[in-house]
Each structure stands twice: as structure tokens, then as C-alpha cells.
Amino acid sequence: MGRVAGKVALVTGAASGIGRASAIALGREGACVVLTDVQAKGEEAAAEIRKAGGKARFQMQDVTSEGEWAVVVGGIEKEFGRLDILVNNAGIAVSGMVTDLTFDDWKRQQSVNVDSVFLGTRAALPLMRKGKGGSIINISSIAGLRGAPRLSAYCASKGAVRLFSKAVALECAAIKDGVRVNSIHPGIIDTPIWGQVVPGTNEPLDLDAMSAFRVPLGVKGVPADIANAVVFLASDESRYITGEEMVIDGGLTVGSI
């Protein structure tokens, strides 16, 4: 308990899955959490944190909107005067063979998964620097480390998040602003995002069967597996870690057994 006590955190895409679990875990560990999402049910996650004795509020935010980032971060500055943790988590999976994707599909994928991380990082850094530091955690994917069929646009977006994180980590380190930037690369985690993925022929999208077959540890992950890493990277326990890519995939990208 209290591993991020006194810190102010902003978690995007916090109405569901990994973002929801991360916000709840940060709240449990003592952070004041601002949850945002395009889905109003993010309010339920904020209420859950408050019910457990934590501090949290929910705000609607479309992470692709530059103006909305200014409103969200401006509101945090007014209310708390600081921002210590940013979890750029909101994301979608645009799936399909590359020849079946429209240019609009491609742009929507990059806008939600990559533009958002740029906009969020740029909006948050000045406030983090005022507080002499912070931790930015960008949720990439193992699809940002290697290719996956029917996920070309998604892979491109997650690869971009991986190297954007490293470049900004070095910029922050160079000016000794106390801000660390890391990416997390989840494998197969049981969340609603899988409903957006088009399965291959003869391959039902059954996460249990898929994990039993492909994941060395034999099982799918749950959002808490990622939330635990978010708390670690958000806390001072990880003070010497920046520009790192943390893979949480049950051994999936390590090799086969």
C-alpha cells in the first residue's frame, strides 16, 4: 500500500481493460487518479476507487483531440498544481489484410494509438517539469516488437510508440528534468479489444486456446498483470529505469517450448 502515495496520475482509456485496472491499482497505492475515456462508464472505475477510500475523478476525453488534452491537463494543473504519472493507454485495434484497409482505417489507427501519445506527452511534460519530475508510461504491445498478420496498421502504431518513448526518454534525461519514459508491451491480455481483431481462417479467436497453444506459460494474461507493472514504473521503485521496454507476455516473444 502507498507505493505512489501523494502522486497525481492521469490514465487514458481508463473505462475498460488495462486502463481501468491500472487506474484502480494506482488509486489503491495512494495516487490521486484522473481517469479519462470516450466511454462514460469510466465513471464506474473512478467510483470504485473512491469506494475503496482512494481519490479519483473521471473526465470524458478523446485522446486524438489536441484541444481536449489542453483542457484535461489544464484542469489537473488547476486542481492539483502537479502531474506525476501519465499512462498513455487508450488504444484501438484496426484489423484486416492490408489490401482491405482503407486510408481512413489507417489514419484512425495512427490517430488513436500514436497521435494521442505525442499529444499527451507534449501536454504533460511542462507540468511534470514544474514538479521536478514524473513518469510517463506508454502502453505499446508485443505487436510493436514483431509483426502480426492482419494487424499491419496496429503493428506500425505500436512500433512508433516504442521508439517515440525511447527518444523522449533521452530528451528528458539530457536536460535532467527528472521525467522517466518507458513503454510496456503486453501479450495476450483478456480485454474487450480482442473483439476488434479479425481472426485468421480456421482460427477462432479463443484467447484460452490461443494462449495454450502459443504462450510458453500456457495461459492468457489479465489486466492486473499489466497494472502491476504500471504501478512499478509509476513509483520511485523504478527511479533508475528509463527508455525501457517492459514485455509482459508469458514468454510469447521469447521463443517456443
Interface contacts to ligand NAD, rule CB under 6 A:
12-13, 15-19, 37-39, 61-64, 89-92, 112, 139, 141, 186, 188-189, 191-193
Q: How far is the CB of 223 from ligand NAD (least distance, A)?
A: 6
154 counts as catalytic: yes
Nearer CB in complex with ligand NAD: 106/177: 106
Q: Where are the alpha helices (DSSP H) in 81-150?
A: 103-110, 116-130
Nearer CB in complex with ligand NAD: 81/218: 218
Nearer CB in complex with ligand NAD: 140/238: 140
Nearer CB in complex with ligand NAD: 5/209: 209
Catalytic entry in 58, 154, 194, 232: 154
Q: Half-sphere exposure (CA, 13 Å, Cβ side) for 132?
A: 0
- With a CB cutoff of 8 Å and minimum separation 6, the contacts of 134 are 83, 84, 85, 86, 124, 128, 178, 179, 180
DSSP secondary structure letters along 172-200:
HHHTT-SEEEEEEEE-SB-SGGGGGSPPP
29 touches 1 (CB < 8 A): yes
230 touches 87 (CB < 8 A): yes
Q: How far is the CB of 165 from ligand NAD (least distance, A)?
A: 13
CA–CA distance, 114 with 116 (Å, rounded to integer): 5
Active site residues: 154
